[in-house]
Structure 1
Amino acid sequence: MTYPDQLYRSALNALSKAICLCNKEGRILFMNSAARGLTGWKGEDELVDLSAAPGRIEIEGRSFLCTIHQIQDGGDSVFVAELKSSYEERSENERGRWDRFLAGAALATNQLLITEKIDPALAQSLEFLGCSSNVDRVYIFQNYDSESGEHHCKLSYDWSREGLATGNEKLPPLDVSYSQPIPWYDSLSQGMPMRGLARDQPLQSRLFLQELGVLSFLIVPIFTKNGFWGFIGFDDRSTERIWTWGEVSVLMTIAGAIGGSIDRWQTQAALAQSERQYRELVESANSIILRLDRAGDIIFINEFAEDFFGYPKKEILGRNVIGTIVPAIDSEDQDLQRMVADLIHDPSKYASHINENMRSNGERVWIAWTNRAVKNEKGDTEEI
């Protein structure tokens, strides 16, 4: 053996990684000490199939995960395989599973932020969480109290893994009492998630979970600004699983995002309802109601004003009040254009004011106005 050969063999043997060199036919040329210890290879003449299973090779009857690189040695090809131990393979699988889990959590959170309506947002979020965590079911229950004051929860959203045998699998019940069969209200209402294997639960809870076909579970409470709102649950019905606290902490963050989003959607719904009621009130009022921007352009006019002045909305919106419903100079030679400019500058001077107006047919009319400024959060007037 030449000195350069001895040198590179010594260098490879010093590595902690398991390295195997093969020629293009798959014949093992060399294994460093780490690879010999991992595979148990005794140095016999042995061939390995480098293409049978991409990313894996079989040595001494055992299959190993590997990364293969091809290098040129003169005119010959040599393949360098870095072998993984079963521990490294498990660790790599765990990292991949964790990465998928975090990606699903990120997608679910993003869905909660960007989707305007609650139903599609939560439905899509459950799908992301279910697929990324590889569970069989994900669901959300919302709390309510019965007429007798007993704590209950009802199924609001549910996702099932594709291919789950729905004929043999039971859905979560649509309505559950917190006192029977699983007394979890106190723990969940204090922010404590519940997790475990069905077979390890107290008898009553175990029978309930086994009846549903649940092998393991995770329940995470959801809180809104009004308190304990409900929970999100994860069921495994094919294999048992012990959720790590790292996974639980991520899902507690997701539950917090769900609670915050519910608050936002409820606020938006209340505002929309308030706006509908306001518009109904304004449109049904037997008074002239309109809004002007700071330039004096008309940005809203109610139906009564449309009929009174003879302008349909599509014709008058965006036009200036001067020349449409207010003449520049009234019949008494008062400068109404200057008056409108002064009104916009200081609405308080014209809180109650009578001035001449005109209809679309040119008819002049006198109207008593009540004017009020609409201000932004900085206190600046935005509308009249």
Structure 2
Amino acid sequence: MKNLLLSISKANNHLLKQKSLEDALNFCIKEIGSGQDFDRCYIYKNEIDNGVLKFHYKYEWCNKGIEPYIDHRDPDGIAYDALPELYKTLSSDESFQGLVKDCSNELFKQIMGILGIQSYLFTPIFSDDLFWGWIGCDDCKNEKKWRDEDLYTLHTIAKNIGFQLNQDRIVSKLEITLEKINFYMEGSNQAMWEFDINTNQTVYSYNWAGLLGYTNDEIIQEEEFWKRTIHPDDLNQLLMDTGHLISNRLDNYVGTTRMIHKTGKVIWVKYDILLKKNKEGKPLKLIGTHIDVSELKEKEIQLKLSEEKFRFIADNTTDLICQYSNDGNFQYVSTSSKEITGYLPEELINKSSWDFFHKKDFRKIKNYYENTFKSLQSSIVTYRFRKKDGSYIWLEATTKAIINSENKVLGLQSSSRDISERIKRAEEVKAANAKEKELNDMKSQFVSMASHQFRTPLTVIYSNAELIDFKINHFEENKSQSIACITSRIKTEVDRMTELMNNILIFAKDESQKLKKQVKPVDFNVFIETLIDTYFNNNLYEREIKIKIKGKKKPFFTDEIMLVHILTNLISNAFKYSVDRSNPELEITYSENEIEILVIDYGIGIPEDEIKHLFTSFFRASNTSTIIGSGLGLSIVKQFVTFLKGTIELKTKEHFGTTIKLIFPYE
């Protein structure tokens, strides 16, 4: 018994004193083996290898004459699956013992034979209920029967090893945790302190000095120093809450306060204070941490101001401001919702916006949202939204994506306005335009039909007047002259009616927008020469027009038919309104980028107060009543000039004549 107790005592002494666990275990098995006169004493440690629990030969002591196997591969790394009865017994915290020859497991018998073992005793080692491994003792010379004392010794030492293993594991974790805490505290702007309630002494540690701008030597380990560092407006509340914590009216105390930096500036500090008590529940200490959150607090203040500003704008604008989650649910709705949709904001929050869209707009809205998510660009869409009363209104919305610093879309924000009236007016205008077009088409068809219907009787009248002229050649001279005067008046009026019909047809085409231009290159010098020969050298006016050309001729692109109508009308007017006066003039100037055409006459001119009406349809000046005209000529001329991208200007003075200037670009 004395040897037993001595072995246990020595083993425990090694476990307590040795700094290295490995050294302690080696000394333990030596004390056990030598003290109890075993042939071999060793320790196996359990380890998981690729999901399989195995035992490994880690520590060994051998008596004199016994071969060591610490580096031998055969007894190492064996899976418990191969020795189930061994695992079952040891994991149940029971010893596994016996004679090798009596073992039924052939693998176990083979391993023990290799080690030269006759009898064995295994005792499990548990560390905090974890089956860590086991101690083994062998007798290689005799088939030894193990005594209860042997079992007790091994079991006691195994328990003590388990305690030491558990303690080492806890200490190791604690050291790692402390290292992490020290690293965190030293590498952050967090400070730590303790206040002893009994002595009123305060101990500051870690970053306290740096937090407030002091050096360690300037820190005074007293409560008064701490009070001086607290903002005076926050001190009373902080002291009162701390008193509540000490009197058990608060479990812990967390909050934010202002502190005074050494430079005098105010910093924001987040604090966390815990109360430490003794076993009887009496308060002993306050332990607290402070961390500088000034930058975060400033951002929080700015964010709050921004949010308040946004909500003020959103709640006071006539537009409907909404924010949506990625799945389309309302997250925020401005107060204007009531006026626009009939819904209060709280009636829409967390509801799906898709439930309020008109079914005919679903596809358009879906494509619009998908494009907004992809492009992250704001754009405009119009759609119908169901109001609370079940009716639909038209909304015009500008939507943009809400993204975070990592460019991830968090949702959408839209600004919408009710455009129902605008849509209604647009539809009314569209209907009115369609009606107007229909009426214009009907008018154009009527004018065209009426004009063509007039041509036939006018042609018959004109032909019969010529036939009468032919027949009166056989009458007496006085009778023929009388009749010729009548036929001349008939022909003149027929010409007037024909001109009127032609102008009305052209005017109707222009109004119905059926005029088409065919632009092609025109040699303007040749064009003018041909036009004069064709229309004005037939002695109709018994006069001629003077032509003057300035500048170097350049290519001119225009619609020749329209240009013929413009110039024949203006030149005819020049002749018609300047009878018995000087011949009219045509002046052509080729400038750098355009061609300028002047049609000048020295005729009756136009009264000054009537000039503003000249280009109005069917208007004729008061001094032209005796001259044939329809009142459409200048109106059509201006329309054609504009159609050809040109400009027209008129200068006139009654009794002195008129000058009309045309300007056309070459292209």
TM-score, normalised to structure 2's length? 0.36
Q: Give the aligned partner of residue 327 of structure 1.
A: 228
Unaligned runs of 5+ in 2: 288-667
Q: Which residue number corresponds to residue 89 of structure 1?
A: none
Report the CA distance shift for 1:211/1:381 in structure 2 as closer, same or farther (over 3 A).
same
Which residue identity is paired with 1:208? I
The whole-number CA distance in structure 1 between the counterparts of 2:277 and 2:19 is 24
Q: Which residue of 1 aligns with 2:90?
A: 188
For residues 224 and 366 of structure 1, do their structure 2 counterparts lie closer, same or farther at Cα, with a shift above 3 Å needed? Answer: closer
Number of matched pairs = 281
Tell me, in whole angstroms, the C-alpha distance in 2 between the residues paired with 1:106 and 1:371: 47
- Measured in 2, the distance between the counterparts of 1:119 and 1:233 equals 17
> Match of 1:198?
100
Q: Is the 8 A contact 2:38 2:137 kept in 1?
A: yes
* Residues 358 and 204 of structure 1, relative CA distance in 2, 3 Å threshold: closer
CA gap 1:341/1:226 in 2 versus in 1, 3 angstroms: closer
Flag the 1:100–1:281 CA change in 2: closer, same or farther, 3 A: same
**1:1-384 pair list within 5 angstroms:** 98-113=1-16, 118-147=21-50, 149-161=51-63, 166=68, 173-180=75-82, 183-202=85-104, 203-294=106-197, 295-303=199-207, 305-311=208-214, 315=217, 319-323=221-225, 326-327=227-228, 351-352=254-255, 354=257, 356-359=259-262, 363=264, 365-376=266-277, 378=279, 379=281, 380-384=283-287
CA gap of 1:289–1:272, structure 2 versus 1, over 3 A, is same
- CA-to-aligned-CA distance 1:206-257 (integer Å, 9 cap, x gap): 3211212223321112233334332111123455532212321332232223
Q: After TM superposition, where is structure 1 displaced by more than 6 Å over at least 4 residues in a row?
A: 328-332, 334-341
User: Residues 53-105 of structure 1: CA distance to partner in whole angstroms, max 9, x if unpaired?
Assistant: xxxxxxxxxxxxxxxxxxxxxxxxxxxxxxxxxxxxxxxxxxxxx42132102
The percentage of aligned residue pairs carrying the same residue is 22
- Are the structure 2 counterparts of residues 316 and 102 from structure 1 closer, same or farther at C-alpha, using a change threshold of 3 Å? farther
- Counterpart-to-counterpart distance in 1, 2:241 and 2:65: 69
* Separation in structure 2 between the aligned mates of residue 169 and residue 280 of structure 1, nearest angstrom: 41
Shift of 1:113: 4.9
Change (3 A) 1:109 1:285: same
- SS of the residue 2:12 aligns to: helix
1:275 partner letter: L
Determine helix, strand or coil for the equivalent of 1:242.
coil
Structure 1 residue runs without a partner (length 5+)? 1-97
* Shift of residue 382, structure 1, vs aligned partner: 1.8
Give the C-alpha shift of residue 316 in structure 1: 6.5
Equivalent-residue separation in structure 1 for 2:271 and 2:71 (angstroms): 66
Pair 1:136–1:344, CA change in 2 (3 A):
same
State whether residues 169 and 212 of structure 1, in contact with CA within 8 Å, keep that contact through their aligned partners in structure 2: no
Residue 189 of structure 1: how far off its partner (Å): 1.9
> Offset of 1:336 from its aligned partner?
12
When you count helix as a share of all residues, which structure comes out higher? 2
Residue 300 of structure 1, CA deviation: 4.5
Q: Distance in 2 between matches of 1:337 and 1:131?
A: 67
Q: Secondary structure of 1:269's partner?
A: helix
Aligned CA distance change for structure 1 residues 208 and 243 (closer, same or farther; 3 Å): same
| Deviation at residue 172 of structure 1 after TM alignment | 7.3
Contact 2:125–2:132 at 8 Å: present in 1 too? yes
Q: Which letter maps to 1:255?
A: A
- The letter of the residue matching 1:375 is K
**Whose relative contact order is higher, 1 or 2, with alpha carbons under 8 Å and at least 6 apart?**
1
RMSD after superposition: 4.1
In the TM superposition, residue 372 of structure 1 has moved relative to its aligned partner by 0.7
TM superposition shift of 1:158 = 2.9
Give the C-alpha shift of residue 274 in structure 1: 2.5
Given residue 327 of structure 1, which amino acid in structure 2 is its aligned partner? Answer: R
- Seen in structure 2, the aligned counterparts of structure 1 residues 369 and 228 have a Cα distance that, compared at 3 Å, is closer
Are 2:98 and 2:119, in contact at CA under 8 Å, matched by a contact in 1?
A: yes
CA contact (8 A) 2:40 2:138 kept: yes
From the CA coordinates, give the structure whose radius of gyration is larger. Answer: 2
Structure 1 contact 327–336 (Cα < 8 Å) conserved = no
Name the SS of the counterpart of 2:81 in structure 1: coil
1:155-211 CA-partner distances (Å, limit 9, x unpaired): 333334467555999587332222336851122222331223334434433321121
Provide the rounded CA distance (Å) in 1 between the counterparts of 2:33 and 2:73.
15
